[in-house]
């Protein structure tokens, strides 16, 4: 049994077998296999050789490989890959030590390489590089194939990895993934957000969990305490099975709030919407008693497939959601990726600072056809539903005006072909940059609603990378700077009489729910799984009390003071939420 402590990022208990994902640039751990898995592992070795050979053949065919010394290198690689005794050596090692194929490949080839390197003849010792290349070729095949296995999971498992990319999380079959444990990450990293929105327990920042966990080992994820237990003993396992039951019961109790309104004790209704990443999550919103979709992230469309999504891909994904939601509102956010994440962009230039680079709406305004495809699909869906469109990362008025102008041009194209759409579709923006927050009064005149994206707003305002553990403590929704910007946005929105919601993480934290209500926010868009809990908070407070809290919080001059104050207040109202 091994117990590891990390950061709890999504609550709940999960107990299942481990599915370990390697990444190529990561050290290959000596991970054991069960004797029953031996045949599978040996087959993986053979398949890796076979696919490495066919990959090499393809490479040899390509024209750029006409240079003779590269040809020679490839010829050497090919002979090694076809060498039966090399394959046998690796297979023997897998059998003898019961270890994963990756490790056996790595050990065997490194042994050969170091033998070469030790020989005095310079020509031969330099050949060690070739052997490392062959190692890389084989590992690539093994890792690619195990990553593909993850896409085809057919039984319940806990995903253990160094880190999970948006592409990987997008490809999981969510019926089977019961929990996440990763080496890196923080509260607002991608894995954390996805886990919370799916209601899957997750613990991150576990340092080396992916190398100490064996494939198929039993793993317990305690997303409440930030603990991961590998190969638990019987006693621990039994204890956690009880926790699991208790937690499920508590969830069930919260579910009983489903039909009740999200109304404060003094009768003020708060709209609770859900943030979703995948169409399937719309069901969770309805299940949990949410009023609509406050943020439909559309990045998965761009990450899931290797080619740019077509208008029909977009349309179908949106249709799935609006069909479930019927006449309820669905806010679709246009593509919010950095240029580095748009895989099908052949002209991509590396940026020193992608977070401040060509991303999101900026990218769309420079890739008009990609933008058009998405706008057309949203407009088409608007004909039959209550969808609204939201532009992310607006940082000045010009961007909003340009985006609106293009939307209008796309509407004209639809007119031309008599394609129906809602010409009065509501247009909103994410307020998530300090510049947008400071010019909210100007922006408010040009749109129908604001949605405050607190995650980015905090990161840009406080200049803190929320995923960087070394500065993560500087990241806080309660920083006086953040509170002042929030107050400004709420004021400008209400003065311009436009709708306003908050769709960042903070909107689902009980103490900050009190703060936001006190600042005048009446719509919160949160992870669907959090809806019952937040509803419970809302039903336990009065607006008047929240107003007092917000006023006092705004007069304080440190984030710690604000956090402690709000936390104390929240504990008094709702002790069980903490």
Partner 1 sequence: MRPAMLFVDVASRFRSDIKVSNGDTEVDGKSIMQMTMLAATVGAKLKITADGVDAEEALEALRELVEVRQFDES
Partner 2 sequence: MKLIDLVCEKAVITKLGSNDRDSVIRELVDALDRAKVFSGSAEDIAKAVIKRENEASTGIGKGVAIPHVKSEQVKSPVVAIGLSEVGIDFSALDNQLVYSTILLISPNDNPDTHLLAMEVIFKNLQKDDFRSFLKQAKTVEAIMDLVKEADDDIV
Which stretch in 68-76, 176-184, 215-223, 477-485 sits in contact with partner 1 by CB under 8 A? 68-76
Angle at 123 between CA 121 and CA 124, to 5 degrees: 70
In whole angstroms, the minimum distance from the beta carbon of 102 to partner 1 comes to 19
In whole angstroms, the minimum distance from the beta carbon of 368 to partner 2 comes to 4
Active-site choice (77, 91, 190, 364) = 190
Whole-number Å distance between alpha carbons of 212 and 326: 47
In whole angstroms, the minimum distance from the beta carbon of 336 to partner 1 comes to 50
Which does residue 350 bind out of partner 2, partner 1, none, counting CB within 5 to 8 angstroms by kind?
none
Q: Which is nearer to partner 1, 76 or 237 (CB)?
A: 76
Q: Which is nearer to partner 2, 410 or 513 (CB)?
A: 410
What is the binding site for partner 2 (CB under 8 A)? Answer: 365-369, 371-372, 397-398, 401-402, 404-406, 408-410, 412-413, 416, 442, 445-446
DSSP 45-77: HHHHHHHHHHHHHHHHHSGGGGSHHHHHHHHHH
Neighbours of 58 (CB within 10 A): 9
User: Does the annotation mark 190 as catalytic?
Assistant: yes
Which does residue 446 bind out of partner 2, partner 1, none, counting CB within 5 to 8 angstroms by kind?
partner 2
Q: Which is nearer to partner 1, 21 or 113 (CB)?
A: 113
* Among the listed residues 228, 224, 195, 167, the one whose alpha carbon sits nearest the alpha carbon of residue 16: 228
Whole-number Å distance between alpha carbons of 10 and 222: 9
Is 156 a binder of partner 1 (CB under 8 A)?
no
User: Does the annotation mark 503 as catalytic?
Assistant: yes
- Interface with partner 1 (CB under 8 A), residue from 14, 28, 52, 80: 80
Which does residue 121 bind out of partner 2, partner 1, none, counting CB within 5 to 8 angstroms by kind?
partner 1
Considering only residues 84-123, where is the footprint of partner 1 by CB under 8 A?
A: 84-86, 89, 112, 115-116, 119, 121, 123
* Among the listed residues 264, 257, 332, the one whose alpha carbon sits nearest the alpha carbon of residue 288: 257
Which does residue 367 bind out of partner 2, partner 1, none, counting CB within 5 to 8 angstroms by kind?
partner 2
Whole-number Å distance between alpha carbons of 261 and 289: 9
* Among the listed residues 163, 161, 171, 254, the one whose alpha carbon sits nearest the alpha carbon of residue 213: 161
Which does residue 406 bind out of partner 1, partner 2, none, counting CB within 5 to 8 angstroms by kind?
partner 2
DSSP 511-529: HHHHHHHHHT--EEEE-GG
Considering only residues 123-142, where is the footprint of partner 1 by CB under 8 A?
A: 123-124, 127, 130
Q: Distances from the Cα of 288 to the Cαs of 260, 495, 534, in angstroms?
A: 11, 33, 11
Whole-number Å distance between alpha carbons of 27 and 404: 48
Total residues interacting with partner 1, rule: CB under 8 A: 19
Six-digit token pair at 506? 């903070």
Whole-number Å distance between alpha carbons of 135 and 401: 53
Question: Taken in order 199, 574, 564, 452, is the CA torsion positive or negative?
Answer: positive
Whole-number Å distance between alpha carbons of 275 and 272: 10
* 411 phi, psi to nearest 5 deg: -60, -40
Whole-number Å distance between alpha carbons of 415 and 369: 18
DSSP 3-state of 334: coil
Which does residue 551 bind out of partner 2, partner 1, none, counting CB within 5 to 8 angstroms by kind?
none
Active-site choice (157, 503, 545, 546) = 503
In whole angstroms, the minimum distance from the beta carbon of 384 to partner 2 comes to 22
Q: Which is nearer to partner 1, 101 or 519 (CB)?
A: 101
Please answer whether residues 161 and 210 qualify as being in contact, where contact means their C-beta atoms are separated by less than 8 angstroms: yes
Which does residue 368 bind out of partner 1, partner 2, none, counting CB within 5 to 8 angstroms by kind?
partner 2
Max Cα–Cα distance, the chain, nearest Å = 86
Which does residue 413 bind out of partner 1, partner 2, none, counting CB within 5 to 8 angstroms by kind?
partner 2
In whole angstroms, the minimum distance from the beta carbon of 122 to partner 1 comes to 11
* Among the listed residues 197, 165, 157, 184, the one whose alpha carbon sits nearest the alpha carbon of residue 16: 157
Please answer whether residues 533 and 512 qualify as being in contact, where contact means their C-beta atoms are separated by less than 8 angstroms: no
Q: Which is nearer to partner 2, 167 or 396 (CB)?
A: 396
> Which helix (H) or strand (E) element contains residue 219?
strand 218-222
Question: Taken in order 312, 314, 320, 323, is the CA torsion positive or negative?
Answer: negative
Which stretch in 77-85, 291-299, 304-312, 559-567 sits in contact with partner 1 by CB under 8 A? 77-85
DSSP 127: T
In whole angstroms, the minimum distance from the beta carbon of 330 to partner 2 comes to 25
Q: Which is nearer to partner 2, 59 or 397 (CB)?
A: 397
Question: Taken in order 222, 225, 228, 231, is the CA torsion positive or negative?
Answer: negative
- Interface with partner 1 (CB under 8 A), residue from 2, 27, 71, 83: 83
In whole angstroms, the minimum distance from the beta carbon of 139 to partner 1 comes to 17
Q: Which is nearer to partner 2, 270 or 429 (CB)?
A: 429
In whole angstroms, the minimum distance from the beta carbon of 106 to partner 1 comes to 15
In whole angstroms, the minimum distance from the beta carbon of 108 to partner 1 comes to 9
Q: Which is nearer to partner 2, 301 or 361 (CB)?
A: 361
Is 67 a binder of partner 1 (CB under 8 A)?
no
What residues are annotated to the active site? 190, 503
Binding site for partner 1 (CB under 8 A): 72, 75-76, 79-80, 83-86, 89, 112, 115-116, 119, 121, 123-124, 127, 130
């Amino acid at each position: 049994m091994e117990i590891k402590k990390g950061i709890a990022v999504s609550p709940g208990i999960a107990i299942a077998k481990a599915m370990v994902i390697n990444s190529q640039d990561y050290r290959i751990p000596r991970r054991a296999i069960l004797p029953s898995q031996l045949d599978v592992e040996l087959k993986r070795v053979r398949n890796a050789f076979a696919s490495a050979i066919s990959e090499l053949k393809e490479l040899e065919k390509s024209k750029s490989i006409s240079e003779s010394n590269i040809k020679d290198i490839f010829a050497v690689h090919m002979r090694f890959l076809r060498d039966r005794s090399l394959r046998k050596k690796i297979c023997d090692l897998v059998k003898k030590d019961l270890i994963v194929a990756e490790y056996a490949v790595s050990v065997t080839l490194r042994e050969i390489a170091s033998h070469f390197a030790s020989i005095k003849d310079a020509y031969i010792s330099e050949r060690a590089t070739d052997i490392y290349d062959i190692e890389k070729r084989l590992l690539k095949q093994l890792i690619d194939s195990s990553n593909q296995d993850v896409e085809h999971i057919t039984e319940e498992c806990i995903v253990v990895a160094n880190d999970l990319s948006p592409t990987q999380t997008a490809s999981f079959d969510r019926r089977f993934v019961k929990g996440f444990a990763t080496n890196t990450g923080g509260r607002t990293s991608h894995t954390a957000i996805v886990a919370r929105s799916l209601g899957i327990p997750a613990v991150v920042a576990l340092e080396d969990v992916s190398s100490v966990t064996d494939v198929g080992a039993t793993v317990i994820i305690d997303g409440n305490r930030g603990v991961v237990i590998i190969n638990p003993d019987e006693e621990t396992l039994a204890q956690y099975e009880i926790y699991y039951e208790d937690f499920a019961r508590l969830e069930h109790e919260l579910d009983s709030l489903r039909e009740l309104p999200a109304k404060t004790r003094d009768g003020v209704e708060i709209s609770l919407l859900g943030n979703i990443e995948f169409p399937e999550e719309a069901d969770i919103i309805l299940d949990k008693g949410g009023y609509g979709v406050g943020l439909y992230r559309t990045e998965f469309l761009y990450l899931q497939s290797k080619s740019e999504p077509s208008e029909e891909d977009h349309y179908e994904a949106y249709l799935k959601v609006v069909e479930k939601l019927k006449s309820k509102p669905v806010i679709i956010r246009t593509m919010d990726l950095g240029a580095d994440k748009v895989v099908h962009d052949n002209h991509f230039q590396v940026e020193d600072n992608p977070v401040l680079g060509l991303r999101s709406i900026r990218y769309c305004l420079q890739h008009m056809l990609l933008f058009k495809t998405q706008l057309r699909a949203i407009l088409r869906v608007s004909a039959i539903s209550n969808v609204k469109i939201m532009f992310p990362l607006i940082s000045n008025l010009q961007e909003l005006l340009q985006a609106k102008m293009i939307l209008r041009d796309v509407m004209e194209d639809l007119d031309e072909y008599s394609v129906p759409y809602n010409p009065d579709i509501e247009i909103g923006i994410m307020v998530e940059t300090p510049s947008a927050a400071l010019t909210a009064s100007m922006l408010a005149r040009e749109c129908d609603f604001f949605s405050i994206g607190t995650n980015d707003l905090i990161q840009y305002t406080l200049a803190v990378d929320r995923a960087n553990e070394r500065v993560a403590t500087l990241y806080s929704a309660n920083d006086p700077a953040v509170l002042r910007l929030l107050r400004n946005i709420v004021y400008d929105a209400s003065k311009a009489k436009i709708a306003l919601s908050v769709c960042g993480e903070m909107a689902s934290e009980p103490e900050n729910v009190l703060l936001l209500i006190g600042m005048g926010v009446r719509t919160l868009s949160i992870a669907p799984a959090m809806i019952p809990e937040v509803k419970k908070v809302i039903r336990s407070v009065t607006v008047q009390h929240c107003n007092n809290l917000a006023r006092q919080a705004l007069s304080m001059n440190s984030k710690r003071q604000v956090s402690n104050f709000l936390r104390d207040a929240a504990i008094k109202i709702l002790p069980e939420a903490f």
